[in-house]
Amino acid sequence: MGTHRVGPKVRVGQSLFVATVILLATAVGAQPLGHEYEFEAAPIRKGEKPVIPLDTSDPSYNAWRKLRDLSKDPKREPGILNLQKYEFGMSYNAMPTFFNAPVAMSPEDLAASKVDVALIGAVPDMGTGMRGAAHGPNAVRNSQVYGGYGARQPHMHTMVDPLQDLVVADFGNAPIDIMSTERSVHAIRSFVRSAAEVESEPGKHVIPIIVGGDHSLMYPDVAALTDVYGKGNVGVVHFDAHYDAGKYMMGHLISHGMPVYRLIEEGLVPGKNFIQVGLRGYYPDEESFEWMREQGFRYHTMAEIEERGFKAVMDDVVKEAKDGPEYLFVSFDIDTLDPAFVVGTGTPEPGGLTPREAFPIVRRLCAESNVVGFELVELAPMLDPTYASALNANRIIKECMTGIAMRKKGLTEPHYLSPLTKTDGRPD
Ligand SMILES: [Mn+2]
């Protein structure tokens, strides 16, 4: 794609493409494309900007990020609000929040209820080729199978119930300008920071879990945590089919393929604190891998996983996650999973992890290391006519919450499993 030439000289491949387009257009009764459409760049006149500027005097210019005036609401004590009416019920008979969790309207609500985990929806999807990630958060809100309230429903392999052992809240969605990734990232950063800077107990901060939305989010999400914990103090374990460290694309400096480069470029996360897992397919190229090596990245491709086995590589990932700064962020691009399990994503890549591989490593990272934030991105539910993609995304998040709950209970030994469920207890 990088060699695409703009100008009057048309290459053979392009001539063929143009001929095909003309043929197709003629077949459906449209006018054939004229010469003026043959890949000429738009002329930029002297002094002219290559974009149509925004009208900052438009009264709706910042309306998307202006908080509604809560002072007009009936007075109430700060704290989380449970929207569910019944003691017990199926999730589809409840108002959809993440895991049917209570709602927090403000950071004061998070603080008053000593919230451990704030779930945040974030819906940018202009940074991805195939749109639809904007619908990820509500698909996860609707993908809860069990009620999540009124009964103890622990994670079977650990007998830890994140919805009982943690205080979890749906903090609503971050503000975005649905027509601009560039304008949205700063507002998302502030919103995520507004949750992460809340101390639920002295010295213990709220852990934001962000549900996207495309992977542009990694930039504001990690930046928000470095705002709270300090530049260079947050390491990142990044699960993805792709390396997402592109420098630019069509002049843009942020998209779902560039958040890693932005974080490095701005000195927010040193390369040695990036650990990547699941890379495969046809991107990036040799030069990009050389760049990653120069930056000190630790990366684990599917080729390595196939050769050494999943368990050996995962043990290394957990070790590497601890060999870095005090705080850890986990970024999980849902395309890490094989399209057999998640076809609802913008850039699917065959040959990926299975849920049975991904669940335990996510749980282990969230239990065994100091995770201060997590994101699940790139779920595009409309690309999946079934329910499988949203269900697997729901479970990835729940595995992390289970891990955070295990950590709170002190179950941090490597690969902890409940003795009750590991075996049936009969003597060998
Ligand atoms: Mn990605």
- Could you tell me the CATH number of the domain that includes residue 287? 3.40.800.10
Distance 86 CA to ligand 1 centre (A): 39
CA of 205 to the centre of ligand 1 (A): 27
* Residue 246 CA, ligand 1 centroid: distance in Å: 11
Q: What is the distance in A from the centroid of ligand 1 to the CA of 324?
A: 22
Report how far ligand 1's centroid is from the alpha carbon of 27 (Å).
38
- Is residue 216 domain-resident? yes
Calculate how far, in angstroms, residue 405's C-alpha sits from the geometric centre of ligand 1: 27
Ligand 1 centre distance from Cα of residue 128 (Å): 9
What domain count does the chain have? 1
pLDDT of residue 318: 97
CA of 140 to the centre of ligand 1 (A): 18
Query: Which pLDDT does position 41 carry in this prediction?
Result: 63
Ligand 1 centroid, distance to 217 Cα (angstroms): 10
Distance 382 CA to ligand 1 centre (A): 18
What's the confidence (pLDDT) of residue 92? 87
Residue 257 CA to ligand 1 center (angstroms) comes to 6
Per-residue pLDDT at 149: 57
Residue 265 lies in a domain: yes
pLDDT at residue number 10? 36
pLDDT of residue 216: 98
pLDDT in tens, the chain (428 residues): 333 333 333 344 444 444 444 444 444 444 333 333 445 666 677 887 777 889 999 999 999 999 998 889 999 999 999 998 888 888 888 899 999 999 999 999 999 999 999 999 999 999 987 999 999 999 999 998 887 556 788 999 999 999 999 999 999 999 999 999 999 999 999 999 999 999 988 999 999 999 999 999 999 999 999 999 999 999 999 999 999 999 988 889 999 999 999 999 999 999 999 999 999 999 888 989 999 999 999 999 999 999 999 999 999 999 999 999 999 999 999 999 999 999 999 999 999 999 999 999 999 999 999 999 999 999 999 999 999 999 999 999 999 999 999 999 999 999 999 999 999 999 97
**Ligand 1 centroid, distance to 319 Cα (angstroms):** 23
CA 168 / ligand 1 centre spacing (Å): 26
The answer as to whether 416 is a domain residue is no
Give me ligand 1 centre to Cα 80, in Å. Answer: 32
Ligand 1 center to 40 CA (angstroms): 31
**Is 77 contained in some domain?**
no
Q: Look up the domain containing 355 and give its range.
A: 92-408
Ligand 1 centroid from CA 378, angstroms:
7
**What is the 3-state secondary structure of the chain?**
CCCCCCCCCCCHHHHHHHHHHHHHHHHCCCCCCCHHHCCCCCCCCCCCCCCCCCCCCCCCCCHHHCCCCHHHCCCCCCCCECCCCCCCCCHHHCCCCHHHCCECCCHHHHHHCCCCEEEEEECCCCCCCCCCHHHHHHHHHCCCCCCCCCCCCCECCCCECHHHHCCEEEEEECCCCCCCHHHHHHHHHHHHHHHHCCEEECCEECEEEEEECCHHHHHHHHHHHHHHHCCCCEEEEEECCCCCCCCCECCECCCCCCHHHHHHHCCCCCHHHEEEEEECCCCCCHHHHHHHHHHCCEEEEHHHHHHHCHHHHHHHHHHHHHCCCCEEEEEEEHHHECCCCCCCECCCCCCCECHHHHHHHHHHHHHHCCEEEEEEECECHHHCCCCHHHHHHHHHHHHHHHHHHHHHCCCCCCCCCCHHHHCCCCCC
Centroid of ligand 1 to alpha carbon of 148 (angstroms): 30
Distance 215 CA to ligand 1 centre (A): 5
Residue 71 lies in a domain: no
298 located within any domain:
yes
Q: Is residue 108 part of a domain?
A: yes
Instruction: Please tell me the distance between residue 291's alpha carbon and the centre of ligand 1 in angstroms.
Output: 18
Domain membership of residue 78 (yes or no) is no
* Distance of CA 104 from the midpoint of ligand 1 (Å): 29
* Distance (Å) from CA 305 to ligand 1 centroid: 19
CA of 51 to the centre of ligand 1 (A): 27
CA of 248 relative to ligand 1 center, distance in Å: 15
Taking the model in full, what pTM does it have? 0.89
303 CA to centre of ligand 1 in angstroms: 18
Measured in angstroms, how far is the CA atom of residue 120 from the centroid of ligand 1? Answer: 18
